[in-house]
Chain A
Amino acid sequence: MASQAANQHPNREYAVELARAFGGAIIFGLPNLMTMEMWFLGFYLDRPRLILFLLVNFAILMGLSRFSGFEETASVKEDLLDALAAYGVGVIASAATLAIFGILLPGMSMGEIVGKIAVQSVPASFGAIIARQQMRGKSEEEQEEERDVAERRGGYGWQLFLMVAGALFLAFNLAPTEEMVLIGFKMSPWHAVALVLVSVLALHAFVYAVGFAGQERPPEGSGFWRLFVCYTIAGYGVALLVSLYVLWTFGRMDGADLGQIASMTAVLAFPAAIGAAIARLVV
Chain B
Amino acid sequence: MAETGNSKKSGKRSSDRQRSRPPLLEWVAAAVGLTLTLAVLGALGWEGLESAGDDPPAIDAEIRRIVPVRPGYVVEVELRNRSSATAAAVQVEGELTAADGAVATSTATVDYVPGDSTRSAGLFFADDPRLHRLEVRALGYAEP
Contact = CB atoms under 8 A, between A and B. Distances in A.
Interface residues of B, number: 43
Contacts, number: 129
Contacts of B41: 51, 54
Contacts of B130: none
B112 interface: yes
A111 B114 CA distance: 9
Interface string B1-34: 0000000000011001111111111110111111
B86 A43 contact: yes
A30 interface: no
B84 A71 contact: no
B27 A81 contact: yes
A35 to B, nearest CB: 14
Given A85-B29, A111-B115, A47 B12 contact: no
Interface string A94-120: 000000000000011111101101100
Interface in B105-144: 111-112, 114-118, 144
* A interface bracket (residues with beta carbon within 8 Å of B): 35 or more
A10 B24 CA distance: 8
Nearest to A7: B19
Given A73-B17, A87-B37, A111 B43 contact: yes
A11 interface: yes
Contacts of B27: 81
A120 to B, nearest CB: 11
Contacts of A15: 25
A14 B26 contact: yes
Nearest to A36: B111
Interface of A: 3, 7, 10-11, 13-15, 18, 40, 43-44, 47-48, 50-51, 54, 58, 71-74, 78, 80-81, 83-89, 91-92, 107-112, 114-115, 117-118, 121
12 contacts: A10-B23, A47-B48, A48-B48, A81-B22, A86-B33, A88-B29, A107-B118, A111-B43, A111-B115, A111-B116, A112-B117, A115-B44
Given A71-B20, A81-B26, 20 more contacts: A43-B112, A43-B114, A44-B112, A51-B41, A54-B40, A73-B17, A81-B29, A87-B36, A88-B32, A88-B35, A107-B118, A109-B117, A111-B43, A112-B116, A112-B117, A114-B40, A114-B44, A114-B47, A115-B44, A118-B44
